Each structure stands twice: as C-alpha cells, then as structure tokens.
C-alpha cells in the first residue's frame, strides 16, 4: 500500500530517484509531477496519480489508477492533449474530474510551463542560430607555428622600408621630399651634398628632436612667433616640409602626455624648427650673453 | 659512468673504446639502457657536429684557394624558393587579368568613382578587447564607422547599409573575449571574404609605438599577392582605403602576404635620406588567413563560393600556398 511504500522510500530506505541537496530533495522520476520528492508528488507512493509529459512538441496526459496497479504494462494511461491551450485545459479537467485538487492543479501548472517553453523553442529556431564549430587542437597548433615562421620569414620592417624607398625612387611622392635622385647628376649631388648634409643634419636634428633628443633653444614666446614664421615660410618645398613638420610636431607635441623620457638639461616647451632663424639669432644671443 | 661503447647489442660486436669513431654498423637505438643510450646519442651528435664543422672549414679553404674561380655560393633553400608553382600566378603583363580587373566589382573604386565608406561591427555581445580593437581599426581606416551589433541579422543589415551608401562591411567575430575572425564584404553585391584573425595586438600592447594615427589617408602597401586569388583579395583589401593617400600624413598600412598569412601593420614613416627610411609602428596589428571567398554578399547557406579552404585537399604539401 502507498503508505508503506512512502515510509520505506521516502524517509528511511534508499530511493534511486531521489536527489538530495542542501535545502531540498528532488525526484528524478519521469512521471513526477512537480519534480520534488514529497509524499504527495511521489509517483511510486501514490496509487492514483497523473502527469503531463511532452514528446516531440505534443503534450500527453498520463494517468495511473489503483485498478491497474497489478499490470505494470498498462499502468500509465496516455491521453493526447489538444494543441489549443484552452481546449487542452478543458481536456485535463474532464479527464481528471473527481481527482484530488492538488493533482489537477499541478497538472495544469505543468502543462502551462511546457507550452511556454515549446513556444520559446519555436521562436528561437526562427532566429539566427549560433553554430559552434569545434577547434581542432593539432590544427590550431600547426597554424600557430606556421604563422610564427611566416612572420620570421616575412621580415616585415625590411620589406616595408624597401617598398617605401622604391616608391620614393619612382617619384610617387612628387616633390614633397627634396632628395636628389641618384641616377642623375653626381656632380650636382656633390654640390648638393653640402647643402644636403646641412639639411640632412638639420633634418636629422629635427628627427632626433622629434624622436627623443631635444636641444636647448631659447624658448621664445610660443604662438605668435610660430605663426609669424609660418607665414614667412611659404615658397620653397623645403620650407614647406619644415612647415608641415612643424605643424605635425606641434600636433604631436600637444598630444604628448609628458611621458617622454628626460632629455638633457632643458626641454623646449614647444617644437621649434626655424633653422634658418636659429642661425640668425644665435650669434645675437651669443653677443647678448657676452 | 661508462666511457666506452661497451654493452651494445648491435652486430658491431666488439665494444668500441671512447675516442674512436663509431663503427658504421652501430646504431644508438639498439642500446636498451636509457641512460647509456642517451649518453651514446649525445656523443654521436657531438661527433656529427665536429664532422660538419670540419667539412665547412675545408670548403671554406677550398673556396679561398680558388679565389675568383670559386663556384658561386649555393643559394639556401627556403620555403619561398621551393614553393610549388601555382598555375594561377599572375603575370604582370597578362591581358586577361587586366581585363578582368577592369570589369570586376572593384573597378569603380579603382576608377575613383566611389569613395570607400566602411561599416565595422562585431558579432553579438562583444567583449572589451574586441570593442577596443574595433575602435582602433576605425581610427586606422578613414571614413569608417563602428556600430554595435545588438543581435541583428546580417542579412537585414546589408540592405540597409547599401541604402546608406556604405561600400564595405567588416564584421569582427569574437570568441572567448578575443577577436578571431573577420568577414569583409564589399557591399553593392561584391565578394565576401572570410578570414581567420590571429595575434591581434592593440595599440597599447605594441612596444615603441608612436602617437595615435591621424586622420590623414594612409598609403597602402600590398606585398606578395601573386596568384589570381591573391590578386582579388589584395584588391579587396586595398579598396578599404581611400584611393588617394595623403602623403603629408606619412602613414602607411601594409598587408604583407607570406605563406598564406596576411600580416597587417600600420606605420608612420619618415625619410631620413634617400637611402634610409625610419618607420615607427602605430596602430593595431593582426594577421589574417583566408578561409573562404564568396561571390555575392554574405550568405552562408546559398552563397556561391569562389574559394574555400579545404584542409584535406589543400594542406597536403608544405610548399604549396594559395594566395
């Protein structure tokens, strides 16, 4: 009789469907109505019991009565429920008429939950499905290794530098840069070697200043003089370039976060490039100092 | 420890004393004792190295002795040298290819009829790294906008993009908080390339980097795209950037293909003289590996694939590359 069954399984002895956690006991039986291990929801300990289960999107009402307790094969009677929610509820009511209130209530609750999740499944399948593609460990390792080797073989910096120099040679930059072309005029080269070395030195100075070193130059009043000088520097490309570099350096400088490493005794407040002017003013400053 | 070659079970027979060369029939792998086997192997290795060194010295002496008549130095074999010849390698003078390129989907870009406008987005729910990477990529590519995905279907985004005049769509796929894939789709009905992205470095992770990239249009360098497939991919990547670079910006974006890996770098250069150029890396860097190239816009089910990477067929030889 069910009381004996419950007193054995429920409390004292072992029930294989029972799962205990810190706060609650669960029942793993497929026919369980609520999923908890209780006296009233144990399908083994109640001779009159009903559940709702769904298979392939259709819901069925399973019922068990005392009369069939001796026939395990025919124990659970199955009724297919209507697809319509209200009609199915009526069906449950009509099948479980005169059954205990608890079971009827729980059946309807369970049925509601099941239909809700079925609706959600159908909605989700219409949306984009994310497809999980398994990673293959060997292949990943192989690819990584090959990538490293390719990186080493590529020698990116050299390749980029070579390409840029090629482009310079082929005159894609026009006359922004004032480098004399090798193929022609060696004499001119020599002649310009002096001016070039000057300008190169200056440029290199600038570069150094740009990158790291700063030289001590008298810090004149910033913006006014800069603008003045920018006006004056107009025509020649060199000056253009200086101007551009100036502008850039100004921009760069304004963006610097003050993390530049310490250079020399003094640092200029702003990048200052009028080289021609330097040459002019230096002697005057020297004379002043003297 | 045993200093002699005793205890060998090989057909060599007589145990060899320490200083003598190993008899040719002796094999290190026949010793059962692991310690001794290891020891013998090390000795064998040392001997091989000595022989090699001696041979080298001899060759060098011979070469010096011959002087001018010495045969030219042998070119070392590299994987690039030994590459299996790909029949789709593009000849620079090929007319067919030139004609193709004049009429493909990028012709309007190369004829300067269209200005590139890029939409950058991610897969659902991007994590911090991906978001930052997208932002940096947007600074690198001029005229690009980043939009959050928010679970929208690509098929619905694409018509909207076309309506708003975007020319390219970049989707950065993310896995476990790092970006690992890139889908590049040329919009008005253009090809879609799907890349696997690896070793992504954000700007702060790059050592010795410079300031932020400015708004100037960078130059583009495409290296090593030799085959027909490589050509189309190269054109696709080039069409992301405005056709006329601003040289005052002195920025250059490089796509370098090496053994089917496309390395992307973004540098600022400066010419120190006509023979020397200094480059400074700014901007993110990543490597791409082409997975598939599809003819139309992004359509995973019904699209017509021009090229898919099939591991079993294409990865059979170590000297064979497709780009």
Which residue among A150, A169, A181 sits closest to B258, beta carbon to beta carbon? A150
How are the residues of chain B apportioned to helix, strand and coil, as percentages rounded to the nearest 5? 30, 25, 45
Residues of chain A contacting residue B271, judged by C-beta atoms under 8 Å apart? 164, 168, 177, 179
Instruction: State whether residue A116 is helix, strand or coil.
Output: helix
pLDDT at A262 > cutoff 60: no
pLDDT in tens, A48-96: 999 999 999 899 999 999 999 899 999 999 999 999 999 999 999 999 9
Cβ B293 vs Cβ B227: under 8 Å: no
Residues of chain B contacting residue A252, judged by C-beta atoms under 8 Å apart? 211
Mean pLDDT (whole number) for A189-203: 59
What are the backbone angles phi and psi of residue A191, rounded to the nearest 5°?
A: -60, -45
Which residue among B78, B223, B271 sits closest to A163, beta carbon to beta carbon? B223
Using pLDDT thresholds of 50, 70 and 90, give the confidence band for residue A170.
Answer: confident
Query: To the nearest whole number, what is the mean pLDDT of chain A?
Result: 74
Contacts of B239 (CB under 8 A, 6+ apart): B106, B109, B110, B116, B167, B168, B186
Which residue carries 């120099």 as its tokens?
A165
For residue A132, is it within any domain?
no
pLDDT at A107 > cutoff 90: yes
* Binary contact (A161, B279; C-beta < 8 A): yes
pLDDT at A221: 43
Residues of chain B contacting residue A149, judged by C-beta atoms under 8 Å apart? 259
pLDDT at A240 > cutoff 90: no
For residue A142, is it within any domain?
no
Q: Where are the beta strands (DSSP E) in B117-250?
A: 118-122, 144-146, 168-175, 178-186, 192-201, 219-223
Chain A residue with minimum CA distance to B216:
A248
pLDDT at A239: 42
pLDDT at B6: 45
Could you write out the three-class secondary structure of B46-103?
Answer: HHHHHHHHHHHHHHHHHHHHHHHHCCCCCCCCCCCCCCCCCCCECCCCCHHHHHHHHH
- Distance from A15 to chain B by nearest Cα, in Å? 42
pLDDT at A137: 94
pLDDT in tens, A17-55: 999 999 999 999 999 999 999 889 989 899 999 999 999
Task: Choose, out of A129, A156, A254, the residue to mutate when testing the contact with B (most B CBs < 10 Å).
Answer: A156
Using pLDDT thresholds of 50, 70 and 90, give the confidence band for residue A193.
Answer: low
For residue A218, is it within any domain?
no
Distance between CA A133 and CA B272 in Å, rounded? 50
Q: Residues of B near A (CB-CB distance < 8 A)?
A: 78-80, 124, 153, 196, 198-199, 211-212, 214, 219, 221, 223, 247-248, 252, 254, 256, 258-261, 263, 265, 267, 269-275, 277-279, 287, 289, 311
Pick A11 or B197 by higher pLDDT: B197
For residue A18, is it within any domain?
yes
pLDDT at A270 > cutoff 70: no
For residue A65, is it within any domain?
yes
Pick A224 or B300 by higher pLDDT: B300
Q: Which of A77-81, A98-102, A231-235, B207-211 has the lowest mean pLDDT?
A: A231-235
Pick B71 or A209 by higher pLDDT: B71
* Binary contact (B261, A252; C-beta < 8 A): no
Nearest to B214 by CA among B246, B256, B174, B189: B246
pLDDT at A272: 57
pLDDT in tens, B86-136: 777 777 777 888 888 787 888 888 887 788 899 999 988 888 899 999 999
For residue A254, is it within any domain?
no
Nearest to B5 by CA among B29, B37, B32: B37
pLDDT at A280 > cutoff 60: no
Determine the structural domain holding residue A97 and report its residue range: 2-126
ipTM attached to this prediction: 0.79
For β-strands B192-201 and B178-186, DSSP reports them as antiparallel
Residues of chain B contacting residue A143, judged by C-beta atoms under 8 Å apart? 196, 198, 289
For residue A172, is it within any domain?
no
pLDDT at A271: 58
DSSP assignment letter at A219: -
CATH number at residue A6: 3.30.390.110
Distance between CA B223 and CA B233 in Å, rounded? 12
Residues of chain A contacting residue B289, judged by C-beta atoms under 8 Å apart? 143, 147
Using pLDDT thresholds of 50, 70 and 90, give the confidence band for residue A251.
Answer: very low
- Distance from B89 to chain A by nearest Cα, in Å? 19
Tell me what percent of the residues of chain A surpass a pLDDT of 70. Answer: 61
Q: Establish, for the pair of chains A and B, how many residue pairs have beta carbons separated by less than 8 Å.
A: 96
Please, what sign has the CA dihedral across residues A34, A35, A41, A45? positive
- Distance from B198 to chain A by nearest Cα, in Å? 8
Decide if A163 touches B, using CB distance below 8 A.
yes
For residue A43, is it within any domain?
yes
pLDDT at A190: 63
Using pLDDT thresholds of 50, 70 and 90, give the confidence band for residue A181.
Answer: low
Q: How far are the Cα atoms of A265, B28, B45 from residue B17, in angstroms, in the given order?
A: 70, 15, 17
**Which residues of chain B fall short of a pLDDT of 50?**
1-17
- Distance from A150 to chain B by nearest Cα, in Å? 6
Provide the domain count of chain A.
Answer: 1
Residues of chain A contacting residue B153, judged by C-beta atoms under 8 Å apart? 127-128
Which residue carries 């490493």 as its tokens?
A261
Give the other-Cβ count within 10 Å of A169's Cβ: 15
pLDDT at A243: 42
Distance between CA A246 and CA A226 in Å, rounded? 9
Which domains are delineated in chain B? 91-315 (3.40.50.10480)
Mean pLDDT (whole number) for A249-267: 43
* Binary contact (A252, B211; C-beta < 8 A): yes
Using pLDDT thresholds of 50, 70 and 90, give the confidence band for residue A264.
Answer: very low
């Amino acid at each position: 009789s069910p009381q004996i069954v419950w007193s054995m399984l429920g409390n004292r002895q072992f029930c294989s469907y029972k799962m205990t956690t810190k706060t609650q006991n669960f029942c793993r039986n497929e026919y369980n109505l609520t999923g908890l291990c209780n006296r009233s929801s144990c399908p083994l300990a109640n001779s009159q019991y009903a559940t709702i289960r769904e298979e392939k999107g259709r819901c069925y009402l399973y019922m068990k009565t005392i009369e069939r307790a001796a026939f395990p094969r025919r124990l659970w009677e199955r009724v297919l429920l209507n697809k319509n929610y209200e009609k199915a509820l009526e069906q449950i009511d009509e099948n479980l008429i005169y059954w205990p209130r608890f079971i009827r209530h729980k059946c309807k609750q369970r049925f509601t939950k099941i239909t809700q999740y079925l609706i959600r499944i159908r909605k989700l399948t219409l949306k984009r499905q994310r497809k999980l593609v398994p990673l293959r460990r060997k292949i990943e390792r192989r690819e990584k290794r090959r990538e490293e080797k390719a990186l080493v073989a590529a020698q990116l910096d050299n390749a980029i530098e070579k390409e840029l120099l090629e482009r310079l040679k082929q005159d894609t930059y026009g006359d922004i840069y004032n480098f004399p072309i090798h193929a022609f005029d060696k004499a001119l080269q020599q002649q310009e070697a002096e001016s070039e070395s000057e300008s190169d030195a200056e440029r290199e100075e600038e570069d150094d200043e740009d990158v790291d070193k700063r030289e001590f130059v008298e810090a004149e009043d910033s913006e006014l003089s800069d603008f003045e000088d920018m006006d004056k520097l107009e025509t020649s490309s060199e000056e253009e370039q200086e101007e551009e570099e100036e502008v850039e350096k100004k921009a760069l400088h304004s963006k610097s976060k003050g993390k530049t490493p310490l250079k020399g005794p003094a640092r200029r407040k702003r990048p200052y490039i009028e080289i021609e002017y330097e040459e002019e003013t230096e002697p005057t400053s020297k004379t002043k100092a003297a | 420890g045993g200093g002699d070659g005793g205890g060998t079970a090989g057909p060599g027979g007589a145990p060899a004393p320490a200083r003598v060369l190993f008899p040719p029939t002796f094999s290190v792998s026949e010793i059962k004792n692991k310690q001794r086997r290891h020891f013998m192997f090390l000795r064998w290795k040392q001997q091989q190295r000595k022989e090699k060194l001696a041979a080298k010295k001899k060759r060098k002496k011979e070469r010096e002795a011959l002087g001018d008549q010495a045969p030219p130095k042998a070119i070392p074999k590299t994987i690039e040298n030994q590459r299996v010849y790909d029949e789709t390698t593009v000849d620079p003078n090929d007319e067919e290819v030139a004609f193709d390129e004049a009429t493909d989907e990028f012709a309007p870009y190369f004829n300067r009829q269209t200005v590139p406008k890029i939409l950058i987005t991610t897969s659902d729910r991007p994590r911090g790294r991906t978001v930052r990477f997208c932002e940096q990529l947007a600074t690198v590519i001029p005229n690009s906008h980043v939009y959050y995905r928010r679970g929208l279907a690509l098929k619905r985004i694409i018509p909207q993009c076309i309506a708003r005049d975007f020319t390219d769509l970049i989707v950065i796929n993310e896995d476990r908080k790092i970006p690992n894939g890139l889908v590049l789709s040329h919009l008005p009905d253009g090809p879609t390339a799907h890349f696997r992205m690896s070793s992504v470095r954000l700007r702060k992770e790059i050592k010795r980097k410079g300031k932020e990239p400015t708004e100037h249009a960078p130059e583009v360098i495409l290296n090593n795209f030799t085959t027909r497939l490589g050509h189309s991919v190269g054109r696709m990547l080039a069409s992301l950037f405005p056709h006329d670079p601003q040289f005052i910006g002195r920025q250059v974006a490089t796509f370098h293909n090496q053994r089917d890996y496309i390395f992307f770098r973004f540098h600022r250069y400066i010419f120190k003289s006509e023979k020397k150029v200094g480059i400074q890396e700014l901007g993110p860097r990543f490597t791409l590996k082409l997975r598939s190239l599809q003819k139309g816009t992004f359509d995973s089910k019904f699209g017509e694939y021009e090229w898919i990477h099939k591991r079993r067929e294409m990865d059979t030889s170590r000297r064979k590359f497709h780009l």
